[in-house]
Amino acid sequence: MEQLKKEPFIATHVGEDTDYARIFKKYHIVPNTRLATKDMFVTYTMVEAGLGISVEHSLTAKVWQGKVKCLPIDFSTDIEIGLAYLENENEGLEKVIEYISKSLKKT
């Protein structure tokens, strides 16, 4: 995490209540922010271009197809995840929700 103080940092969604903003606040981390974007894929493109480093969640990292190397950061923190859906009697949707709930409990 010391590298965040030295390397140019690319921030995504500055001023918003993001996971990384909460972690930085909790651990008193002040990155060397040089660039900011409102889109995580733009952030990845900037990192890929060698403009700096960033912190993004693993769900985005799994989707990104570029040449950015993603390293896990081990922090003791809880992140609340919500699921929004239209309530109905759709059995398929109920199975998807059940699967997601079980998957999240494993991680």
Q: Which of 22-31, 57-66, 88-97 has the highest mean pLDDT?
A: 22-31
- In this predicted structure, what is the pLDDT of residue 33? 93
Domains and CATH numbers, the chain: 3-63 (3.40.190.10)
Q: What is the pLDDT of residues 73-99, one digit of tens each?
A: 776 666 666 667 677 666 777 788 788
Confirm whether pTM is higher than 0.75: no
- Phi first, then psi: give them for residue 8, nearest 5 degrees: -60, 130
- In this predicted structure, what is the pLDDT of residue 106? 67
Please name the amino acid found at residue 79: I
Residue at token pair 């693993």: 58
